[in-house]
Structure 1
């Protein structure tokens, strides 16, 4: 079999085309948002929101509503509960995040266990990108388009908030409002990625691309290009590997992203582990020679 056949054969199936489109779309919006999440240090909040949407998806199934609607409601609910706990008690933010996301995630597991269903609701947890229907794909495209447009319009405000909230306030911006917008985008993007990798692995799509890009460049504008590009490459590779290896597509997408990060961590020209050690050895040799 030629390399071209390896590429073209999976495209003969509609479910593979739907999977690739959904995965690439999710990769773009997750890759973009991950740049801000990494800078602000909201990795744990991303984990919280991605897990907290589970009961919303199950309840949406019960009442016959779109999964995306239920996930959005509980995503925003989780964000609101974290904020209330943080602002009205002595509980610190990391503890509030842990309390909210574990409770809501456990509630979702309970709902799955007691909900009679002809559909395997466990795919919500682990993802089912190969089962994405045309209607699911339309939902993903609409939500991703909304997230992308908002990010495009508010990118400068979000960037200023990430680097210097005090300066953002000084020039008339409202840091709390921008933070709420970022949380809303996080909830929306988590719903987009939910179709691809499920609840458990959403946080990987929301963090790894930005972390990878951060090791490759010091310029935020370049991060916004590198992160989605790396996410797309890893996602397409993961979907193709899942076809040829008959393995979990969502899992392989994340594994490929993790391997890509590991390669960049070791071999990045400026911030890679190997490069930094070589620079130290050169500096030591120069100092010894001097």
Structure 2
């Protein structure tokens, strides 16, 4: 058993992949908890696909593609907020419009600019290609986002559960919204190489939803979600190593498996436990 656990650690690429997987497993559920509570879970998917135009332009201009991704993500958040507040368009329609338009623009720019950006890696991730520099960058993003969440936890908590009340007492709700969107974008950027944008929403929402079925407080949901995210990430890496299959889908499917267990056996909300109590 010990040899089974230690063998993958003999390879540098596995050590780097596991380190990034742990960081992403912590970061995604903590940020995703805010989206779940606000019933904005699909916003993570919208933001994930909205970074593509920024990636294409940054790659063409030969600047850091992460800068382009961040700018593009923030612009999409501005656009969704503007459509919600200044028009009769509902939030789900606004997200659908931005999602499809930004993703189509990104594909068009990749063609027009003749970029050689690895679209498969962008969509599905390449965690086994993670370098030590990627680990350091992910660690810095994780530390910065978690520090900001800790500093502004009370304000974000109030805004998440009662945005109108937060506005009434004078909290800068627009700044809180954009700050949260910046955190979502940074989380997506940190996760792109791990699971790719197609699967990043599963890590943003899956572990947090599992925790939501098991606990009641937001801080408990964040903490338990982080634990579940780490378990899914590490377990998925080991499964992908020994079965020689892609790591991103393994991580996501294990996260989904844990969600199914919580859905069935949660003490307060489980389908089977509720039947037993009846």
1:46-81 CA-to-partner distances (Å, cap 9, x unmatched) read 111011112222322222222321111111011011
1:213 aligns with one of 201, 211, 214: 211
> What is the deviation of 1:157?
1.1
What does 1:210-289 correspond to in 2, within 5 Å? 210-280=208-278
1:178-206 CA-to-partner distances (Å, cap 9, x unmatched) read 22221221111111111211111111111
Q: Is 2:13 the partner of 1:18?
A: no
Separation in structure 2 between the aligned mates of residue 210 and residue 21 of structure 1, nearest angstrom = 20
2:58 corresponds in structure 1 to 60
Q: Does the 8 Å CA contact 1:265/1:272 hold for their aligned counterparts?
A: yes
2:95 corresponds in structure 1 to 97
> What is the deviation of 1:116?
4.5
What does 1:76-95 correspond to in 2, within 5 Å? 76-95=74-93
1:284 corresponds in structure 2 to none
Separation in structure 2 between the aligned mates of residue 121 and residue 137 of structure 1, nearest angstrom = 21
Separation in structure 2 between the aligned mates of residue 72 and residue 122 of structure 1, nearest angstrom = 20
**Which stretch of the first structure deviates more once superposed, 145-154 or 229-238?**
145-154
TM-score by length of 2: 0.94
Q: Does the 8 Å CA contact 1:54/1:125 hold for their aligned counterparts?
A: no
Tell me the secondary structure at the aligned position of residue 152 of structure 2.
helix
> What is the deviation of 1:107?
2.2
TM-aligned CA distance change 1:106 to 1:274, over 3 Å: same
Separation in structure 2 between the aligned mates of residue 9 and residue 112 of structure 1, nearest angstrom = 40
2:163 corresponds in structure 1 to 165
**Which stretch of the first structure deviates more once superposed, 60-69 or 208-217?**
60-69
Moved over 4 A (4+): none
Tell me the secondary structure at the aligned position of residue 63 of structure 2.
coil
Equivalenced residues, count = 277
Aligned-CA RMSD value: 1.6
> What is the deviation of 1:170?
4.1
1:238-274 CA-to-partner distances (Å, cap 9, x unmatched) read 1111111111111111111011101110111111111
Q: Which runs of 5+ in 1 are unaligned?
A: 281-290
What does 1:45-194 correspond to in 2, within 5 Å? 45-113=43-111, 115-117=114-116, 120-194=118-192
Separation in structure 2 between the aligned mates of residue 70 and residue 134 of structure 1, nearest angstrom = 22
> What is the deviation of 1:36?
1.3
> What is the deviation of 1:277?
1.5
1:286 corresponds in structure 2 to none
Q: Does the 8 Å CA contact 1:54/1:108 hold for their aligned counterparts?
A: yes
Separation in structure 1 between the aligned mates of residue 59 and residue 244 of structure 2, nearest angstrom = 28
Specify the structure having the higher radius of gyration (Cα).
Answer: 1
